[in-house]
């Protein structure tokens, strides 16, 4: 299995899909927006983009299953599986703001081994494969070196459902807002993880996520030299609906605070 070659090909697919998303933006009308559940939006662009991605990925690895946000294709216990978010940041897209992205991850027995994230607004392609490092538009990237709360810029996401830990979440936000350089809420977990991988963010945490939000980002952060875990410090982050990611130096202090309030 040549993961470097696979990563190059899925990067091309992510770029092509991003171009389609960019071209369709001016055509979207309020009538094109559907509500999947409270505050969870979808358009024909999401659905068509996913169909395009699935069709092209079948050629690369016919034996692989699929975990897809819009349900275009499914899985049946395959060792290899594609995990796809055709448009991460749909609400941003609908409102004409960035970032929004295409995220394609490849997992082997539920472990991410390759991935590509294409951020449409800045034409940035992030990619990584197991043992091959992490890359941005063909240049090697790595996580930041910051280690202290007062030196870091952090990212998170605000849930639009699953509010059972709201009080603890707000308390954690309060700590980071007062003790760090600031918090950012970009609206695309895939981009948040990509930005940790290239050192723009020093750390990221969020709950109530799906595998397609983070599969590609996980391998990016790891190959860029960062660390990833769930709120308890374990490895149940791909399907555990919670994630902590940070550079190696800051990870102990960052995880300790997240675990204290959310673990």
pLDDT tens-digit series, residues 72-110: 888 877 999 999 999 999 999 999 999 999 999 999 999
Q: Do 257 and 204 have their domain in common?
A: yes
CATH (domain of 193): 3.40.190.80
Lookup: tokens for 227: 């660390």
| Cβ count near 26 (within 10 Å) | 7
Provide the pLDDT confidence category of residue 69 given band limits of 50, 70 and 90. Answer: confident
pLDDT greater than 90 at residue 37 = no
Structural domain containing residue 69? 3-141
Kindly write down the DSSP assignment for every residue of the chain, as one continuous string.
Answer: --HHHHHHHHHHHHHHHHHHHHHHGGG--GGG-EEEETTEEE-HHHHHHHHHHHHHHHHH-TT-EEEETT-SS--SS-SEEEEEEEEETHHHHHTT-S--EEEEEEEETTEEEEEEEEETTTTEEEEEETTS-EEETTEEE------SGGG-EEEE---SS--TTHHHHHHHHHHHHHHSSEEE--S-HHHHHHHHHTTS-SEEEEES--HHHHHHHHHHHHHTT-EEE-TTSSSTTSSSSEEEEE-TTTHHHHHHHHHHHH-
* Shared-domain flag, residues 112 and 128: yes
Sheet holding 153-156, edge to edge: 182-184, 153-156, 203-207, 242-246, 227-229
Q: Are residues 254 and 162 in the same domain?
A: yes
pLDDT at 39: 62
Query: Whole-prediction pTM value?
Result: 0.95
Q: Quick one: tokens of 123?
A: 């034409």
pLDDT digits (tens, 9 = 90+) for 218-227: 999 999 999 9
Query: What percentage of the chain reaches a pLDDT higher than 90?
Result: 89
Of 141, 165, 193, at which residue does a domain stop?
141
- For residues 134 and 182, membership in a common domain is answered with no
CATH of the domain at 25: 3.30.540.10
Q: What is the pLDDT of residue 230?
A: 98
Residues 125 and 217 in one domain: no
Count up the domains in the chain and report the number.
Answer: 2
Q: Token digits for 232? A: 């308890």
Last residue of a domain, one of 116, 141, 166: 141
| C-alpha span between 243 and 54 (Å, rounded) | 26
| Boundary-marking domain end, from 120, 141, 162 | 141
Is 9 found in the same domain as 132? Answer: yes
The 10s digit of each residue's pLDDT in 171-208 is: 999 999 999 999 999 999 999 999 999 999 999 999 99
8-state DSSP, 236: T
- 192 in the same domain as 238: yes
């Amino acid at each position: 299995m040549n993961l470097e070659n696979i990563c190059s090909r899925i990067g091309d697919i992510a770029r092509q899909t991003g171009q389609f998303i960019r071209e369709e933006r001016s055509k979207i009308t309020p009538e094109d927006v559907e509500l999947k559940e409270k505050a969870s939006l979808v358009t024909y662009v999401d659905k068509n983009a996913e169909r395009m991605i699935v069709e092209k990925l079948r050629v690369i690895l016919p034996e692989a299953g699929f975990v897809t946000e819009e349900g275009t294709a499914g899985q049946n216990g395959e060792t290899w599986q594609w995990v796809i978010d055709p448009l991460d940041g749909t609400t941003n897209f609908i409102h004409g703001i960035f970032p929004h992205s295409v995220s394609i991850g490849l997992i082997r027995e539920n472990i991410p081994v390759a991935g590509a994230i294409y951020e449409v607004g800045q034409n940035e392609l992030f990619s990584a494969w197991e043992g091959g490092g992490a890359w941005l538009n063909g240049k090697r990237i790595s996580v930041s070196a910051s280690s202290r709360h007062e030196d870091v810029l952090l990212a998170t996401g605000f849930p639009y459902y699953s509010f059972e830990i709201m009080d603890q979440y707000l308390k954690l936000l309060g700590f980071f807002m007062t003790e760090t350089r600031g918090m950012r809420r970009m609206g695309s977990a895939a981009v948040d993880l990509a930005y940790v991988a290239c050192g723009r963010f020093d750390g990221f945490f969020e709950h109530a996520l799906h595998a397609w939000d983070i599969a590609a980002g996980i391998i990016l952060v790891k190959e860029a030299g960062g660390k990833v875990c769930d709120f308890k410090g374990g490895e149940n982050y791909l399907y555990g609906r919670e994630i902590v990611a940070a550079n190696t130096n800051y990870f102990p202090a960052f995880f300790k605070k997240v675990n204290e309030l959310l673990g």
